[in-house]
Amino acid sequence: MILLTTSEAADYLRLGERKLYELIAKECIPCSKVAGKWLFPQHELDRWVLSGLVQPAGMTSLEPPPIVGGSQDDMLEWSLRQSGSGLATLAEGTESGVARLLRGEVAAAAIHFHGTVADANVDAVAAMPRLNDAVLVGFVRREQGLLLEPGNPKSLNSLDDVLTSSARMAVRQRGAGADMLLAQLLAGIGAKHSDLNRLEPPCLTGPDLASAVRSGQADCGIATRAAARAAGLEFLPLLWENFDLLMRQRTYFQPSFQALLAFLPHQVFAERAAALTGYDTSPAGRIRFFR
């Protein structure tokens, strides 16, 4: 990796150092501060310049593969197929999806961040300095809750019950939206991950977690109402969350995503969401953030 100093980066970009410092202050340029000195990865500067490239008609460019990374969701997977978008999915969790998007390995990331702010997805995207051409498109709102064995034999009615009973809890990998939610809920009652009797290894998707509870490997875990219903599990609701698609501006206008967006207003989309349960389709297709 080639790292450039401030003066070298300014020369490389044909910018004055004053302008470069303005971009740093606005968190609009990829860089890091090491021992009090700003350093700029040259390959990231190249990607930063290319992300805003205006190209003449007929000129082709290297585009990311037609894959939606990030969080797994049954409604999303069905919609990608039903819309004829040609988009595939790579479900590894919210933070992994964003990391792949930044590296150009996926075209979009399905995200559901959690934190102390009212709209964690918008807050997280706004704080990403390396994504200076972001578009955040609403897909659905989803109901998250505690998945329990049929009949709830351990009488688990809260996260406090899970802790005091030492019930075995299936968890998601770090960086998954459900794991962020669990951390937030635990902090709210003065607890942490290590206080739980956790099933290891972590489950990579919500359906994997539901399967672990259904098979008796775990007593409970956090996932969507749709995942609970598909596995025939009890569901204790916790909250509704925003489930959005994050992409670059140029990707938004690609035929694959336009096909998906054109499909979202159809009645069959709302009917499918109602059948799966735990979905609110009112945000579908709405641009929630861009820059």
Question: Which domains does the chain show, CATH number per domain?
Answer: 3-50 (1.10.10), 66-291 (3.40.190.290)
- pLDDT single digits (tens) 123-174: 999 999 888 899 999 999 999 999 999 999 999 999 999 999 999 999 999 9
Alpha carbons 47 and 44: distance in angstroms, whole number: 5
Q: What is the mean pLDDT of the chain?
A: 93
**CB-based contact 72:90 (threshold 8 Å):** no
Environment class of 2 (CB within 10 Å of its CB; exposed 0-12, middle 13-18, buried 19+): exposed
- pLDDT single digits (tens) 235-277: 999 999 999 999 999 999 999 999 999 999 999 999 999 999 9
**Parallel/antiparallel/unpaired status of strands 134-148 and 220-224:** antiparallel
Residue 60 in this model has a pLDDT that exceeds 50 = no
Percent over 70 (pLDDT), the chain? 96
- pLDDT single digits (tens) 83-108: 999 999 999 999 999 999 999 999 99
